[in-house]
Chains A and B, each alone.
Chain A
Amino acid sequence: MSRKRTYLKAAKNGMFITGTVLFLTVLLVAVFADRIAPHKYDEMNIEKAFIPPGRAYLFGTDEFGRCLFSRIIYGSRIALKIGLMVVAIQISVGVSVGLLAGYFGGKLDMILSFITDLTWAMPPVVLSLAIVTVLGPSLERVVVSTALVSWPGCARMVRSKTQSIKNMPFVEAARALGESDLSIIVRYILPNTLGIVIVLTTLQLPGAILSTTGLSFLGLGSQPPSPDWGLILSEGVNYVSKAPWISIFPGLALIYTAVGFNLMGEGLRDILDPRT
């Protein structure tokens, strides 16, 4: 009755369907980038620079005559990779800190919340700047530094959710049943926070892509000739009056991906909630 119902709920949820379709197209494009892209992402042809979007070049070409369509297609790989990496780090740190602080409370909560607030106060761009200036620009460093400053939001939400769940009678019942603290956290509290964690993941993912792209835009992350969407955007800025399509298309690609994830997340939350 229930599994079938979950599928049914998914099939009826317009937001989820739309989001999934958007996400799947990005995923497919990323996986089959070599097949779909008509050119290599770093294939230059100076004679064909600044060709506007048209039949020959779907999205036009940039100042080196590189096919923008191909670059954006290859860029989807980078976008997905950094997005997933940032979110994976940030969710695992955030959820663990939130669960521990919320469940045990007291001194541990005070210490963890202090660290959380401290991190929260750190401007991500400045921290990334610092890390990258010391270690040199690279995409991985940007990913790690973005993740390291973006977990507090997740930790706070999980903490407050944990605090409300740990006082629910079923947790008390679990304790009366003889469950240990660890199994109460893992089996009783974590699954009940999963709803917000999933939504957070899908909401943070576009944010993560955007902020790493932002750092690439500033020249801290990916280096040319990488087809990173942020990098393409920033390269296009110099020619924005002459060839606006260079900046417009990577921007649209970003929006497409971000909207897809958001819709999927909202839909997933509705579907996974056994009470709706």
Chain B
Amino acid sequence: MAAKLLEVSGLEVQFDTSSGPVRAVRGVSFDIAEGEVLALVGESGCGKSTTALSILRLVPRPGEITGGRIVFDGVNLLDLDECSMTQYRGKQISMIFQNPLVALNPVYRSGFQVQEAVMLDKVPPDRAWRAALNVLKQVRLPDPEDRARSYPHELSGGMRQRVMIGMMISRFPRLLIADEPTTALDVTIQAQILDLLDDLRHEKRMSLLIITHDLGVVADIADRVGVMYAGALVETGDVTEVFEKPLHPYTQLLLKALPRGPKNELRLESIPGGVPNLSNLPPGCPFHPRCQRRLDICSKVEPETLEIHPGRTVRCHLVGGESFWKR
């Protein structure tokens, strides 16, 4: 396996709200190798977007990174001052946002926005314009010459997402974070965008961190997956391994809730209960109120993260304890 490009360890993010501090991310650790695709999945509000934003140190106020390390290419990003951090954003680490419909500046033409991005590297305007057209070709925007002169509102959602991706990869970042890149798009466009991301990763040896709630997306593109619940990573591992042998009850339920196989054969299951309130987590394992296989200990002690083998971790009392080996 190639060298680790990004290593996040023990990341803690806290939001100071009027009703007291809320721990949105609780001790999240993961790593991404060069050219690797890691997907973070979980229900909305589980802290996956916040984790992604922390890597760029863009957690919106009143959120604050209160602990942990984010080591990118040997440098702990949390030690940098704001000015050196700016050097990393866009150039080393870039991010695609959830809603392409509003992620472009409405007052500039789309090509100009890509050109601007290229010009951040002190490239003269005419060369930057050619580079922008080139990038727009790479993201397979139809008629790049023409579309580059259109305003964002004149483009369709899929085209806007392509422009957005083009803008974000125009400086050849080594890590691209995609925060629900396809959620706002319809299914056909979704598949095209995923293909595009996959190609980019192979062509440019870019690492990808995909944030999604869609396990279909994970299966499509990711090498490894991390499942998040209530601000913590409950299970990580290779996609095939996790999909075939999910260890955490939450992952198992998530997979059961995934539609697959011929219609009418399977009833789609939903997970009973709702996401716990992060400001008022239940004692013990945060998942225990919804867990069908909970033990007595689950409501008392929060499980530790257990490494089964390198790259495969789980955070559950059912695994590793006596009951696991007895089963």
Contacts and interface: CB of A to CB of B under 8 A. Distances in A.
A176 B109 contact: no
A1 B228 CA distance: 47
Contacts of A192: 105-107
B294 interface: no
Given A173-B103, A274-B151, A180 B86 contact: yes
Interface in B80-122: 86-91, 94-95, 97-99, 102-109, 116-117, 120
Contact of B168 (A177, A188, A194): A177
B153 interface: yes
B89 A2 contact: no
Contacts of B60: 167
A174 interface: yes
B156 to A, nearest CB: 15
Contacts of A1: 149-150
Contact of B102 (A2, A169, A187, A194): A169
B247 interface: no
B167 interface: yes
Nearest to A190: B107
A114 interface: no
Given A178-B90, A180-B86, A274-B106, A173 B153 contact: no
Contact of B97 (A167, A172, A178): A172
Nearest to A179: B120
Contacts of A167: 60
B94 to A, nearest CB: 6
Nearest to B106: A274
Nearest to A189: B105
B58 interface: yes
Interface string B50-66: 00000010101000000
Contact of B107 (A173, A178, A274): A274
Contacts of A176: 56, 58, 89-90, 94-95, 97, 168
Contacts of B234: none
Interface string A1-26: 11000000000000000000000000
Given A2-B150, A169-B99, A172-B97, A177 B104 contact: no
B164 interface: yes
B151 A2 contact: yes
Given A2-B149, A178-B88, A275-B106, A169 B97 contact: yes
A40 interface: no
Nearest to B85: A178
Interface string A83-117: 00000000000000000000000000000000000
A32 interface: no
A211 to B, nearest CB: 32
Interface in B128-160: 149-151, 153-154
Which of A177, A192, A275 has the largest count of B CB atoms less than 10 A from its CB?
A177
B106 A173 contact: no
Contacts of B106: 170, 192, 274-275
B91 A178 contact: yes
Which of A173, A175, A180 has the largest count of B CB atoms less than 10 A from its CB?
A173
A240 interface: no
Interface residues of A, number: 22
Contacts of B164: 173
Interface string A181-215: 00000011001101000000000000000000000
A122 interface: no
A177 B105 contact: no
Given A1-B150, A2-B109, A172-B58, A178 B102 contact: no
A2 B111 CA distance: 13
B107 A177 contact: no
A168 interface: yes
A174 B106 CA distance: 13
A186 to B, nearest CB: 12
A188 B107 CA distance: 8
A188 B105 CA distance: 7
B97 A177 contact: no
A176 B49 CA distance: 14
Nearest to A171: B105
Interface string A237-252: 0000000000000000
B147 to A, nearest CB: 11
A8 to B, nearest CB: 15
Contacts of A187: 105, 116
Contacts of B153: 274-275
Nearest to B98: A169
A170 B109 contact: no
Contacts of B87: 178
Interface of A: 1-2, 167-170, 172-180, 187-188, 191-192, 194, 274-275
Interface of B: 56, 58, 60, 86-91, 94-95, 97-99, 102-109, 116-117, 120, 149-151, 153-154, 164, 167-168, 171
18 contacts: A2-B151, A2-B154, A169-B97, A169-B98, A172-B58, A172-B103, A173-B164, A174-B105, A176-B56, A176-B95, A178-B86, A178-B87, A178-B88, A178-B91, A179-B90, A180-B86, A187-B105, A192-B105
Given A167-B60, A170-B102, A176-B89, 11 more contacts: A1-B150, A2-B149, A170-B103, A173-B103, A173-B104, A175-B58, A175-B89, A177-B90, A177-B117, A178-B87, A178-B171
